[in-house]
A and B are shown apart, each in its own frame.
Chain A
């Protein structure tokens, strides 16, 4: 099993739709989790961090399920500007070799 796996996508959704992505991780000792968004040919930018069961920021909600070792990202009322690749990151407990998932590409269509 890979350390971090994500829904491969692409997800093509209409404006206003609700969409959810999943990210599974293999290290049960992991304590923190992050979602980044990466626009085409740009650097990843931090979207949300998750340290406990979940986090919410406007239209974005991240949820953590430790028992099943996955985190999800829910986007409500999708905007055209949400089109990007969403990266899941799981830092290693006490280490520095951050592991990024391969990313899930989202296209919000007019």
Chain B
């Protein structure tokens, strides 16, 4: 069966510090991968998606970036965090050719 992991589960970072969140998927090959952010009390906002190694599409302008160094690894980064980067970051995947997305447990980021 397929599983998706995210870490860390929670993170408190000062403004201006760097960020690296990691997501890995097990039990499948060549998944589509996604990063979403959910601000407190708000809906999910798609940040990035990837259909393959090194292929990243960005949905919104921001100070975040994403990378996919391996088939089942997706990383979200920032060089300098802003207060507005606080939120619940969710990684998701779906099998190529299907529409059903499955989510990881998320990382709750607080920028102070």
Contact = CB atoms under 8 A, between A and B. Distances in A.
Interface string B68-95: 0000000000000000000010100000
Given A32-B99, A91-B99, A97 B104 contact: no
| Chain B, interface SS category | strand
Given A41-B108, A44-B44, A102-B43, A97 B59 contact: yes
A87 interface: yes
A42 B46 CA distance: 17
Interface in A58-104: 87, 89, 91, 96-103
Interface residues of B, number: 22
A46 interface: yes
B42 A102 contact: yes
The list of the 3 closest CB pairs from A to B, nearest first, reads A102-B43, A43-B103, A100-B44
